[in-house]
Structure 1
């Protein structure tokens, strides 16, 4: 192997409830996977198949660290989501087999520069700068899959103690298994991949100093402060 011309970047990792660290390879996100949220964003959930976007692996914020308010936006918004961690890879997975490829689950936040996203939509441009910016994916500790039912459970987000988002995993348009199988048709999933599975209704604006507490029953929590 040839010598590296610059130091190798540090490998992003997410803590686990078992005490180890989960290395992050890629971060995929599915959009508008709860009917009420799709409607609040002006879309018809009965007519749209799932579609995906990505965040950089090093966009994760872990261990309850603070999250810096991003540049180039006046409208940072929160989206609380179930995060799926892939433990064994594959392509063109069957729905019935998909959950067998999951290492664990966590609670995450898909932070969004909503003003940049709206402009990108208007111009027909990609969402990269709206979704894939630095520190755009705070994630809590992963719980091993054996202890989690990803088909049901209350999902909530509180900001400064006030309830902002509340729903149930059962409200997902596409189940976790269906979402994994669909994504595996487009890319070959690999160990270390994360999948953020969409958010319930109630997304809203964040300000510097806001403290976010996300929870999913049976999964865990995530906490961060916008600074």
Structure 2
């Protein structure tokens, strides 16, 4: 299953250890930002307009009728230096998060609602495990996040929800091989590989 969404909604600061690794404050409410579909690329880049890019592996869900119906692995790419400067000034993050090529994603596989608590992700770089996150560690579980979003921003059928980043983020470097996996009860159900350009 490979779909192009109308919009991509992202949940920020949804894993405690990732909040701590970046030195961010614990949010009082769900942190939300959007990315346009133009962010999606099949090519994993190490730089954008001369700026270093950082990776954040996430479970990505396809939404239908306000329910997650499929899951894939996505890299939410970030210009970390620019993001820090924008945050210091109290400005929006779009320039650091919504540039062309800021998302690469695997194909998607259908899931049942009951599968979600048993989902996890792994990200390997050059064969080394750098991220491992479980859906049970999310501050805002997937359906709870969807229900809260529906109060003010309706998710349309086919939209994507990036559900948050486990700890282990870092800089993308040219020539690296990334492999992202989604697991259901420790069985890999979807995976993808990218070599950094």
TM normalised by structure 1 equals 0.79
Show the counterpart of 1:141.
107
1:38 and 2:8 equivalent?
Answer: no
Q: Distance in 2 between matches of 1:122 and 1:102?
A: 34
Task: Report how many residues are paired.
Answer: 193
Q: Distance in 1 between matches of 2:169 and 2:15?
A: 12
- Contact 2:53–2:77 (Cα < 8 Å) also in 1: yes
Unaligned runs of 5+ in 1: 1-15, 89-97
Q: Distance in 1 between matches of 2:15 and 2:173?
A: 25
Show the counterpart of 2:194.
224
3-state secondary structure, aligned to 1:217: strand
Show the counterpart of 2:59.
82
- Contact 1:87–1:102 (Cα < 8 Å) also in 2: yes
Show the counterpart of 2:155.
189
Q: Call closer, same or farther: CA 1:184–1:70 in 2, change over 3 Å.
A: farther
Q: Distance in 1 between matches of 2:170 and 2:50?
A: 14
Q: Distance in 2 between matches of 1:206 and 1:23?
A: 25
- Contact 2:55–2:171 (Cα < 8 Å) also in 1: yes
3-state secondary structure, aligned to 1:23: coil
Q: Distance in 1 between matches of 2:164 and 2:150?
A: 17
Show the counterpart of 1:22.
3
- Contact 2:69–2:113 (Cα < 8 Å) also in 1: no
Q: Distance in 1 between matches of 2:45 and 2:169?
A: 19
Unaligned runs of 5+ in 2: none
3-state secondary structure, aligned to 2:17: helix
For residue 48 of structure 1, the aligned residue among 1, 6, 28 is: 28
Q: 1:147-190 CA distances to partner (integer Å, 9 max, x unpaired)?
A: 87122333211111111112211111110011111111221111
Residue 216 of structure 1 deviates from its aligned partner by 1.9
Show the counterpart of 1:103.
69
Show the counterpart of 1:58.
38
Q: 1:34-70 CA distances to partner (integer Å, 9 max, x unpaired)?
A: 010011111343x531111111112123xxx432334
- Contact 2:45–2:172 (Cα < 8 Å) also in 1: no
3-state secondary structure, aligned to 2:133: strand
- Contact 1:108–1:222 (Cα < 8 Å) also in 2: no
Q: Call closer, same or farther: CA 1:147–1:102 in 2, change over 3 Å.
A: closer
Q: Call closer, same or farther: CA 1:117–1:205 in 2, change over 3 Å.
A: same
Q: After the TM superposition, which parts of structure 1 deviate over 4 Å for at least 4 consecutive aligned residues?
A: none
Q: Distance in 1 between matches of 2:114 and 2:13?
A: 23
**Bigger radius of gyration, 1 or 2?**
1
